[in-house]
Amino acid sequence: MTEIVPRETVIQTRECPDCGHSVDVKCNKNRNAYYFCDWCAGHRRWGRDESAKMREHYRKTRKAAAAPERNIVTKPKPIEQPKETPQNEQPKKPEPANDNRPPVERHWLHG
């Protein structure tokens, strides 16, 4: 079953009746549908029964839209052998950048 995450999952997209922009209908933590228009600050909340119908419609459309899983066989990738490093060799330290900047004066540190 498709899980609906409160305040994240968009269950419908509608047109705002106040300004005409597209708004996302989501569910709150009580599973009631709502929207808030960012353009005109219009908002609407639906009751329990209408919200249940919207959630059910969302689940049906998601289930129908989900493509059936296919078994795809691919060749396994070859396992890479770790590179051997001599035990007495230490990793090289990065050299400081030579950008010809003047030294920073830190007179506030030496009172």
> pLDDT tens for residues 48-91?
999 999 999 988 888 766 555 556 667 777 777 777 666 666 66
Does a structural domain hold residue 20?
yes
Does a structural domain hold residue 29?
yes
Does a structural domain hold residue 98?
no
Domain range spanning residue 31?
10-63
**Where does the pLDDT of residue 92 fall: very low under 50, low under 70, confident under 90, or very high at 90 and above?**
confident
Count how many domains the chain has: 1
Does a structural domain hold residue 101?
no
Does a structural domain hold residue 54?
yes
pLDDT of 93-107, one tens digit each? Answer: 777 666 677 766 666
Lowest model confidence (mean pLDDT) among 1-10, 18-27, 32-41: 1-10
**Where does the pLDDT of residue 108 fall: very low under 50, low under 70, confident under 90, or very high at 90 and above?**
low
Dist CA 70 CA 54 (whole Å): 30
Does a structural domain hold residue 43?
yes
CATH code of the domain in which 37 resides: 2.20.25
**23 φ, ψ to 5°?**
-125, 150
Single-letter code of the amino acid located at 75: K
pLDDT over 70, % of the chain: 65
Does a structural domain hold residue 52?
yes
pTM to 2 decimal places:
0.53
pLDDT value at residue 71: 61
Does a structural domain hold residue 37?
yes
SS3 for the chain is CCCCCCCCCEEEEEECCCCCCEEEEEECCCCCEEEECCCCCCEEECCHHHHHHHHHHHHHHHHHHCCCCCCCCCCCCCCCCCCCCCCCCCCCCCCCCCCCCCCCCCCCCCC
